[in-house]
Structure 1
Amino acid sequence: MLLPVPLLAVVGALSFAGGSGGRRWFGGRGESQRAEAQAAKDAAAAAFYELDTAQRDLRISIETITAVDDSPAARRTAADFSALGQRIDQVSRDYITAVDAHDLDRDDLDSATASRARTDLTRAKDALERTKADLDRFAQGLGPLLEQAETRLARLAPAVERARQALLAASNALDAVRASGLRADDLAARLAALSPELTKLNQGAGQHGVQETLRRADDVLRGAEAVRGEAERLPERSAEIDKRLVSLRTRAQAITTRAAGVEPVLSELRRRYSAACWQDLQTVPAQAARDVAQAEEKLKEAQAAREEQRWPDATALLATVRALLNSTDEAVSAAGDRLRRLDEVSFDQQKEIERTRFAIRDAQRLAMAGRSTPDPRHARPLDDAVERLERAIAGLEGRHPDWWHFLSETEAVRQTAARVVQGIREERGGGH
């Protein structure tokens, strides 16, 4: 606790006043005792002044730390300083009590009283000096916390200025976009939402705290830079949406044309192959028509959103259109691909058989590499794959073989072989 200034003035007057008042001086031992007491009083006053000055200086450092740091270490430091302050208050009171208890200017000051005054004032001085030493040691331990706090304080003004400049840049970018005919209402609303934060930044750290002001400056900076970036990209985004609208319309028309060719393909499949080879494709023409119609409806909604400059809505609708057309394209392609693959395998099934057997043998060779017997984890699925292939081949006997089932089985066998190969390579690659 700091003493009020008038008290310091009184203490100074008591400590450093000359002997030119109405005091009468006496020679001999009595005067020597008075001089020694006065010297003790002056030394105690100097110790008190040094402690008070050190406490004032250190309080500035503590306030700097607590203003920007609320970590446990900072809180512990503030608590320790408060405890030191209570000690300083006590030794200061003891010092003042000692000064007030002894009037060294009295004409009738005797040797015994002067000796007691010297003893009391010396004791007060020693207590002040010990406390000052403890305060100095405490101050020396503040280095890292104080350096960190001062660094944060040094960041404060530049951080606030960067936030202001970012807001200005965002506002200018928004003005430029509007001048080109784009409204950017959502960006304008986001920028307006940052205005209260700018007001708080302008009010300063004195009102809102250093740490909170730094956080606010960073938030404003990020928000403003995001608005500026999106505003600068808006013309490009608008052009990209226009391009995608045209592209997806063209694609929808192309898929509609291709979908018209699915029915003849299905007729050919029905004429030449068993029902199991084409039943799952029966719904493709109707489904393709529904999906394309839905895609065209979403394109109209996307066009309306673009005209109203609802950019997020337009982007989302175009993504929906693309997904619809992708699935429709795959379904339409599946019919033609099915006929082609069935024609190929029905003409020469041996090619498919050899391709699958090669995959199995390749996996078997890898499983046996460096071993006299294969690992059951690898051998069992490969043995099952061999049997599955043989069953698929046997299933081709008869007047109307299920060629699609055969192709599905050979594909599944190759996938099994591939999984075994991958597992072996992963194990050996990991040092097993």
Structure 2
Amino acid sequence: MRARAKTRAAGGVLTDVLTLMLLPVPLLVATAPAAFAGGGTRRWFGGRAESLRADAQAAKDAAAAAFYELDTAQRDLRISIETITAVDGSPPARKAAGDFTALGQRIDEASHGYIEAVDAHDLERDDLEASAASTARDELTAAKDALNRVKSDLDRFAQGLGPLLDKAETQLARLAPAVERARAGLLAASNALDEVRGAGLRADDLAARLAALGPELTKLNQGAGQHGVPETIRRAEQVLHAADAVRAEAARLPERAREIDRRLVSLRTRAQALTTRAGSVDPVLSELRRRFSAACWQDLQQVPEQAASSVRQAEEKLEQAGKAREEQRWADATSRLSTARALLNDTDEAVSAAGDRLRRLNAVAKDPQQEIDRTRFALRDAQRLAMAGRHTPEPRHARPLDDSVARLDRAVAALEGRHPDYWQFLTETEAVRNTAARVVSDIREERGTGG
């Protein structure tokens, strides 16, 4: 057997030699190096092997393209997920982040398979066999398909992120402008304070409020990466609101100082006038005591003393307000002025009440019929309205009007005594008119709403 093999081998070599001898010289020269050089064996595998090598290379290129597309898509989607998680801490946002992590594991597995398939096959080998090329083609195609499947799942996942991503991007779009507005607001407030101080006003309370915003500005400068986008936007809006309030108050401060000065002058003048008017209460009370029953003036007995006391208290508050104005304690000055004004208002009402009492009592004592007619007119007007469009009035309207008629009759009858209580009479007639007015208001309201 070995002999036959050697014979065949020898015969093969001889045949090759004879063939070379029969070739034309140029062809021989061109062929000989290729036949014996180290890299010239690829030609001997025939057309099928080269076709399989080309198929494998095409599969490798397609897998590489799929790998690149998947990697690019994953990078882009990671940015979207980071945008969402930076802004949104809701359950849907946390679920999206978890789903992306799970997809990342699948992407890693598909990518690992692709890299192994590429490393396992050297398609540039000169001695690549047809079976090896076929295997390489199949494995690379499978790797490409796996990459494409994960890419499809990634694309569907990305489409579902639309609402979350839109919300996050909207928040991010608000972030920079919000922070910039806050900084601009702080600067405007600081400039307004400088301008006020230049006019000789200290504005210490405003300066303290502005200084208190310093830590918030520090947090804004630290950025959303440390404090989160929603919290940073919220903080920026709060800082802007507080800074705008300081700026606005600083801008009003000169006018506020002028207004306090005007009120001080006005209220001091009013206190002096009320002191003079309070002195007229005693003569009024004296006339009331002389001409009318005790019931008509007893409730006014303390007016002179109360008026004097209220005016003194008001003057004390005005003195305190003046001192606060000099020390530029604007809030204290305003508070003291308000208290002084309330005291003077009460005093004015009490002093006026005495004179008004005497005037009304004089009028009714001279002619009570005018007060009676006025009250009866109010009752008749209410009765006509209650009967309008009806055969009988509503009991809830008729009853209080009937009671008021009886009440008026009793008040008129009480005037027939020797020392009539005219003040009680006036009190009763006013109460009757108030009842009539209330019934009229109720009827109009009901009929205006279809009642």
Residue 246 of structure 2: aligned partner: 227
Letter in 1 for 2:345: N
- 1:372 counterpart = 2:391: yes
Shift of 1:174: 1.1
1:414 is aligned, of 420, 426, 433, to: 433
Residue 19 of structure 2: aligned partner: none
Correspondence 1:95-114 to 2 at 5 A: 95-100=114-119, 102=121, 111=130, 114=133
After superposition, what is the alpha-carbon deviation per residue over 1:62-89, rounded to whole angstroms, capped at 9, x for unaligned? 2223333444554443333333323323
Distance in 1 (CA, whole Å) between partners of 2:334 and 2:101 is: 60
Letter in 1 for 2:422: W
Equivalent pair of 1:359/1:417 in contact (CA under 8 Å) = yes
Shift of 1:321: 0.8
Would the alpha carbon gap of residues 391 and 218 (structure 1) be closer, same or farther in structure 2, given more than 3 Å must change?
A: same
Structure 1 portions without partners, runs of 5+? 1-20
Equivalent pair of 1:48/1:128 in contact (CA under 8 Å) = yes
Residue 125 of structure 1: aligned partner: 144
Equivalent pair of 1:184/1:309 in contact (CA under 8 Å) = yes
1:77 is aligned, of 64, 74, 96, to: 96
Distance in 2 (CA, whole Å) between partners of 1:367 and 1:255 is: 47
2:363 is aligned, of 322, 331, 344, to: 344
Q: TM-score, normalised by structure 1?
A: 0.88
What value does the CA root-mean-square deviation take over the aligned residues? 2.5
Would the alpha carbon gap of residues 110 and 398 (structure 1) be closer, same or farther in structure 2, given more than 3 Å must change?
A: same
Structure with higher Rg: it is 2
2:105 is aligned, of 86, 104, 107, to: 86
- 1:386 counterpart = 2:405: yes
- 1:176 counterpart = 2:198: no
After superposition, what is the alpha-carbon deviation per residue over 1:262-319, rounded to whole angstroms, capped at 9, x for unaligned? 1111111111111111111111111111111111111111111111111111111111
2:273 is aligned, of 254, 257, 277, to: 254
3-state SS in 1 of match to 2:251: helix
Equivalent pair of 2:196/2:203 in contact (CA under 8 Å) = yes
Equivalent pair of 1:23/1:106 in contact (CA under 8 Å) = no
Letter in 2 for 1:405: Q
1:41 is aligned, of 48, 57, 60, to: 60
Distance in 1 (CA, whole Å) between partners of 2:61 and 2:352 is: 105
3-state SS in 1 of match to 2:73: helix
Distance in 1 (CA, whole Å) between partners of 2:390 and 2:345 is: 47
Q: TM-score, normalised by structure 2?
A: 0.84
Shift of 1:242: 0.9
Residue 449 of structure 2: aligned partner: 430
Distance in 1 (CA, whole Å) between partners of 2:404 and 2:369 is: 17
State which drifts further: 111-120 or 414-423.
Answer: 111-120
State which drifts further: 94-103 or 244-253.
Answer: 94-103
2:293 is aligned, of 252, 269, 274, to: 274
Letter in 1 for 2:206: L
Distance in 1 (CA, whole Å) between partners of 2:288 and 2:63 is: 113
Letter in 2 for 1:329: D
Distance in 2 (CA, whole Å) between partners of 1:377 and 1:86 is: 80
Shift of 1:193: 1.7
Distance in 2 (CA, whole Å) between partners of 1:371 and 1:412 is: 27
Letter in 2 for 1:200: K
Shift of 1:92: 2.4
Shift of 1:34: 4.2
Residue 193 of structure 1: aligned partner: 212
